[in-house]
Structure 1
Amino acid sequence: MEVREATADDGPTVRSLALRSMEASYSLSPSTIEGAIRQWYGVEEFAEKLEDDEVQLLIAEEDGEPVAFSESVLVDSRGDIHWLHVAAMYRGQGIGHALYEETRQRLEDAGAETIRGLVLADNTEGNRFWEKRGLTKVGEGSVEIDGTAFVENIYVDHEGSEIQPIVVEDRELYVDRSDSDRGSKGAFYTVYSEEDRENKYGYYCGSCESLVTSMDSMGRLECDSCGNQLKPTRWDAAYM
């Protein structure tokens, strides 16, 4: 198997691989899957990913034929693997594992100290994949797909907590440095009202160190102090 970086000519290949993989792994309607793929990997969206220095798109080939791809991103010192798609007919041959190892190595070479994997809770095969790679489930998130909420499991390659207490207006809150998303100027970190991370309070802007507790009128996360905006990825319903 050979692994290479995606090029502008790989757009149709990536869309085809994602379609075949998702049809085999997710119990979603064909229209939802097709709409999501257009949004993530449409012509303009695919070009933007290729131009983004923090996004990594890798293509795995067998005898010159693309059979899998991964999409990952470096967020501070953490590597997030958003997608690792293997065409259904090539599963069970170790391609997913080999592509994961290559993706991880390249993330670490770029500065990642930890790895995080994300997968919908009802994707049994996907959850087993992360567990077999030695990652540990540390939490859950809620994502919205075509108006319906789904549970997304979060896996990391260590069990340590990076909770950091902060004081805002005489109230102690807790920033989770291990739970962050990319912004246009810096990362957004999840903030909780208690150390046990039971109740989410808002977000902490890594650009200007301000607390963000509300969305804008379009439902998008933006820091009022510095204009840092959350970059849409994965299942963001506002962009579907």
Structure 2
Amino acid sequence: MEIREATAEDGPAVRSIALRSMEASYSLSPSTIESAIQQWYGEESFDDLLWDDDVMLLVVERDGEPVAFSESALVDGRGDIHWIHVAAMHRGEGIGQTLYEATRERLETDGAETIRGLVLAMNSEGNRFWEERGLRKVDEGTVEIDGTPFIENVYVDEDTAELKPIVVDGQELYIDRGDAERGSEGPFYAVYTDEDRENRYSYYCGNCETLITAMDTMGRLSCDECGNQLKPTRWDAAYL
């Protein structure tokens, strides 16, 4: 078994693995899954991922044939593992564990101080995967797939990030530098009204150190001061 970085020639195999993996793990309609795969891993989108310096795509080969892949991203010292897809016929062989370890090792080599895993709440197998690896659920959010909202669970391996207090218009707020989203010019950090991280207030632009007080109806962030924009997530059709 060989683990290597993906190349442009892996596009068809990645699309096929992701399609069959999602069919086995998610109760989504076939048309929704097929549309999502084209949005994320269509030829143009796949090329964009390969050229994105923050994104890492690793492929597992067995006997010269791709059988699994992972997609992850390094976000300001945090490694986000977005996907670990294993072809349905090769599940139960330990490939997912091996790929997770390889993905994590490379993220840490590149500077990740902590690892975060994301998975839809409906995917019981995926949630169990993160729990068995010692990660714990710390948050959940809502994502839209084909216009339908779904709950996404967030797991982390440790919670060591300290909150940085700031005062805005006489109100004390707290920046969580361990909770960052990728932006075009720099990360966006979550801002809370309390030290327990129970009430999210807004986001903070890491590029120009400006508080973001609004986002559009699609949940996209944009900094009016420097033009920093939130990069699309794996659920976002804006990957096209």
- TM bucket (normalised to shorter chain) is over 0.9
Q: What is the root-mean-square deviation in Å for CA atoms of aligned residues?
A: 1.6
Q: Shift in Å at residue 219 of structure 1?
A: 5.2
Looking at structure 2, the residues matched to 116 and 195 of structure 1 have their Cα atoms a distance apart, in angstroms, of: 20
Superposition map of 1:17-32 within 5 A: 17-32=17-32
- Equivalent residue for 1:120? 120
> What residue number does 2:99 align with?
99
Match of 1:134 in 2: 134
| CA distance in structure 1 between the aligned counterparts of 2:68 and 2:131, rounded to whole angstroms | 20
Distance in structure 2 (CA, Å) of the matches to 1:78 and 1:18:
24
Q: Secondary structure at the match of 1:112?
A: coil
Give CA-to-partner distance per residue, 1:77-116, whole Å, 9 cap, x none.
1110011100111111100000000001111111111110
Residue in structure 1 matched with residue 206 of structure 2 by the alignment: 206
What code does the residue aligned with 2:169 have? Answer: E
Give the TM-score normalised by the residue count of structure 2: 0.95
**In structure 1, what residue type is equivalent to 2:211?**
L
Q: Give the structure 2 partner of residue 68 of structure 1.
A: 68
Distance 2:8 2:238 in 1: 26
Structure 2 CA distance for partners of 1:59 and 1:2, relative to 1, 3 Å = same
Deviations 1:219-239 (A, max 9, x none): 531000110000002113666
CA distance in 2, matches of 1:195, 1:112: 24
> Where does residue 192 of structure 1 map in the other structure?
192
Once residues 124 and 183 of structure 2 are traced to their aligned partners in structure 1, the CA distance between those partners, rounded to angstroms, is: 30
The CA deviation string for residues 158-203 of structure 1, in whole angstroms up to 9 with x for no partner, is 1335322211121111222221110001001111222222222111
Q: Deviations over 1:112-163 (max 9, x none)?
A: 1111000011111001111111111111111111122111111111133532
Alignment partners' CA distance in 1, 2:80 and 2:226: 25
Question: What's the counterpart of residue 7 of structure 1?
Answer: 7
**Contact preservation (8 Å) 1:144, 1:237:** no
Is the 2:220–2:230 Cα contact (8 Å) retained in structure 1? yes
How much has 1:22 moved relative to structure 2?
Answer: 0.3
Identity of paired residues, percent? 73
Q: What residue number does 1:38 align with?
A: 38
Q: Which amino acid aligns with 1:39?
A: Q
**How many pairs does the alignment contain?**
240
TM-score normalised by length of structure 1: 0.95
User: Could you tell me which amino acid in structure 2 is paired with residue 24 of structure 1?
Assistant: A
Q: Which runs of 5 or more residues in structure 1 are unaligned?
A: none
Using a 3 Å threshold, how does the CA distance of structure 1 residues 219 and 139 change in structure 2: closer, same or farther?
A: closer
